[in-house]
Structure 1
């Protein structure tokens, strides 16, 4: 009889144990949820402050010389404004673009360079964030966008198909003309910011003068993701002479990004995209400096290195003389020497070495 009573106590004790474990786990889950949701941002900031911050500083490309050591392609050191995209930062990007209007010089050509898709995307986004009225009614932009595609059409289409139909039915010129000058300038900046990759600094303004840089530096802490970086622009002491063969530098073509990233490049890097700049990219490319800020505030800098120089076989003074001579002859014949509008071409070679001394096309 006593044994039977003892057995009845065992399930009761187990139930108490299970209830206790359940309560403890519930408290733990609630505590984790509180830390994650309520205090998550503060802990993330604390963690960021305790981590080492690393910044890569661009290194100038190598200089090109002619055979007599005259500089043909040099670097003009300057400052650039960058913006780093992060996921789900659409509103932040929109507000920063408007804030930067008073700090950057946006020309008419820049406004004209915005493509039709960018005007339409900007319009659709501004409509999506337009505040509703006191009676919760849609504003004029929201109402206009809502009527681009009818309810009957929307019921038969997927979201991406609705979006494409909206793009097809919007007119980019009407959108552009409906905006004020400052709004158009904001669209230019917004489009530049949007062209970058997530977590990779993207140049949105280059060639900043000292005054612009100082004004921007005072406001960067109000504009998350923006930064000033040292940059360099290629300059040509001899003007247009031979520039078509030097080539140009620019953003990495989208179809080549994976190859460049695999060789240690960042997605936002500038690379040689044509002729000599492209052919000798590995030679001309510099080694970036790395600046590490420790949690205690101390800074450790790993010095970078300017790219290797490139010495060409071209004799630039001879190149200038031959170019002038060909130009004079062409003008004396009314602009053309040969029939059917064909131009003159000159190649001068050193016979003993095969070096090209001058090339005029």
Structure 2
């Protein structure tokens, strides 16, 4: 029994010891857990805002850097617009970099590069002098400082008054070295935080580039890089149509700032600002290089890395054939010289546009403004931005409108004769000013009969001609019908070409002036662009389908090499409408156009009767005034081959002398046809 009690007592002792140990260990665990909880609470509550700020100050910030734009090429792969690399020096401002620190960097940089000082403004000098001479500035402003402190003037008024006191005497204290520093400093200050700002990209010498590169560790925020400029391998050819790109200094053009900012651009981005560069900005702009800067709590950049190397813009292939373009320009200049030698001393513009009538591809567009002395200025954009009275070239459209309104029938005969209206008004054709000649609709185009068109217009107004008849009083409805017919072939409406600033011409109200209505029928009232004339003749060549013209042909993926990448997108000419005419009616106009160029009586026979392939078309002469003196605009429209057109053209010469003599400018169209088909035997 005693032995059993003794064993039990020993077991209790062991259990008690174990329990004490467990309680001790558990107490330690609870104590450690309490410390951890208290520490976490301290970090989250007492120090939470501090560590959040540290994280915020060390966050990654993505910054975009500019990349070269895409190239522009012709339909055969010839590069028309490219990029030329050039050395550049940039500055990236830190989040909390002070003006004093920027000034110190500018002073160091001024010993390494030379800057032009012509962009320095009076205000730049005033602010710079104040910064260089803080004590003198303060002494000059004691009175204003009192006014500022008592609230009599605002800080802005104080600053303006301070600048006003810095004038010529203070400017004389700025040395050449100071101006060098200022020229650099003003560029550095122009950039946004953590956005690379161009300091110098023009005329950076190898010596300057190397010197800055070697000292980058001593120049916080400064970097040496490569910039680019647009270059034009074919010189001035199509230079106006290509348009312009903003400079690094210009950034987003003022008039386009809101538009580009809404699309995510930065203010210092280089963008297309006119014509093709503007129209196809989304294609040519490229993908920006992306950098990530890590900053410390003071805002200084600790390190950076390239997130996305970016790539230049995609390539834009044009429908232009640069060989045909250059030949067309050569022929145009030759024709201008010839016409001037024949008496066209006041001719001030000459424009030609060439396209494939079946798909709307613009193959060539050339224009010249002509000074009194004969010197020429490129005016390619005039083909769609300027409008003219074009004369008898529109008569094919007048016939189509007559057919549409059942005013005339295919093959209808009329008497060409001087028309005499009540009140003494007389109108006649140029080819038949006194006699009477029976002609049909085809012959009306061949001879360019004004009378046939006048009588057609009167029939549209439901008022057939008779001698000494009064002119119709209200021609509003008839005018709308005639214009609708002309609109269907592209006259008086925008063509839809893929270039900005296209004009639709000058279309005046027609209601009670029947004389203007009759003039509309022969191209003497409304005005049209050369591009509209081209769309019109192409619609006739294309059996009544009006095609949207386009200069863009396709978009190609950018590559790191010079060759073209794969096709991303094709640009096609859309069918805008089909004219409301039967095939017989369209064929009648086509046959009349063929006769105008190939019959000896035709107005275009002299230039076009013996082209490389048979051609068809129409000529026009519009009476205009230049500085109060009577002149004429001469126009030529056509296509070839006559029975299966592959090429169409329109030509406008402005302010030629009033016939006689009649100056023939059709040789320009003949030369273009002959060149094209000699070099395109398969067509």
For Structure 1 versus Structure 2, the TM-score category normalised by the shorter chain is 0.5 to 0.7
Equivalent residue for 1:349?
354
Aligned partner (choices 228, 231, 240) of residue 235 of structure 1: 231
SS at match of 2:215: helix
Shift of 1:328: 6.3
Gaps of 5+ in 2: 1-41, 295-302, 368-378, 380-683
RMSD: 4.2
Q: 1:84 to 1:358 in 2, by over 3 A?
A: same
Q: 1:150 to 1:268 in 2, by over 3 A?
A: closer
Distance in 2 between residues matched to 1:102 and 1:69, nearest whole Å: 46
Aligned partner (choices 311, 314, 321) of residue 317 of structure 2: 311
SS at match of 2:314: coil
The answer as to whether partners of 1:293 and 1:300 remain within 8 angstroms in 2 is no
- 1:95 aligns to 2:114 (yes or no): no
Equivalent residue for 1:288?
288
Distance in 1 between residues matched to 2:129 and 2:154, nearest whole Å: 21
Distance in 2 between residues matched to 1:287 and 1:151, nearest whole Å: 54
- 1:191 aligns to 2:186 (yes or no): yes
Q: How does 1:324-339 map to 2 (within 5 A)?
A: 324=330, 339=346
- 1:70 aligns to 2:65 (yes or no): no
The answer as to whether partners of 2:188 and 2:199 remain within 8 angstroms in 1 is yes
Q: 1:175 to 1:218 in 2, by over 3 A?
A: same
Equivalent residue for 2:200?
205
Equivalent residue for 1:21?
none
Equivalent residue for 1:16?
none
Shift of 1:286: 1.2
Distance in 1 between residues matched to 2:329 and 2:172, nearest whole Å: 46
Q: Deviations over 1:159-214 (max 9, x none)?
A: 2112223334544x665554222221222111111221223221121154544333
Distance in 2 between residues matched to 1:165 and 1:337, nearest whole Å: 62
Distance in 2 between residues matched to 1:258 and 1:64, nearest whole Å: 27
Distance in 2 between residues matched to 1:81 and 1:300, nearest whole Å: 18
SS at match of 1:162: helix
Q: 1:127 to 1:56 in 2, by over 3 A?
A: same
Q: 1:234 to 1:169 in 2, by over 3 A?
A: same
- Please report the TM-score for the alignment, with normalisation by the length of structure 2: 0.38
- Please report the TM-score for the alignment, with normalisation by the length of structure 1: 0.68
The answer as to whether partners of 1:57 and 1:229 remain within 8 angstroms in 2 is no
SS at match of 1:249: coil
Equivalent residue for 1:216?
212
Shift of 1:97: 1.8
Q: Deviations over 1:304-342 (max 9, x none)?
A: 3321111223333444444455556767859x9664xx7
SS at match of 1:229: strand
SS at match of 1:348: strand
The answer as to whether partners of 1:271 and 1:278 remain within 8 angstroms in 2 is yes
Q: 1:358 to 1:292 in 2, by over 3 A?
A: same
Larger radius of gyration: 2
- Structure having the higher helix fraction is 1
Of 51-60 and 235-244, deviating more is 51-60
Distance in 2 between residues matched to 1:239 and 1:302, nearest whole Å: 35
SS at match of 2:128: helix
Distance in 1 between residues matched to 2:304 and 2:196, nearest whole Å: 23
Shift of 1:63: 0.2
Q: How does 1:1-361 map to 2 (within 5 A)?
A: 56=64, 58-85=66-93, 86-87=95-96, 89-107=98-116, 111-128=117-134, 138-139=135-136, 142-143=138-139, 145-146=140-141, 156-168=152-164, 170-171=166-167, 176-207=171-202, 208-250=204-246, 251-253=251-253, 260-261=260-261, 263-290=263-290, 302-324=308-330, 339=346, 343-350=348-355, 352=357, 353-356=359-362, 357-360=364-367, 361=379
Equivalent residue for 2:407?
none
Shift of 1:94: 1.4
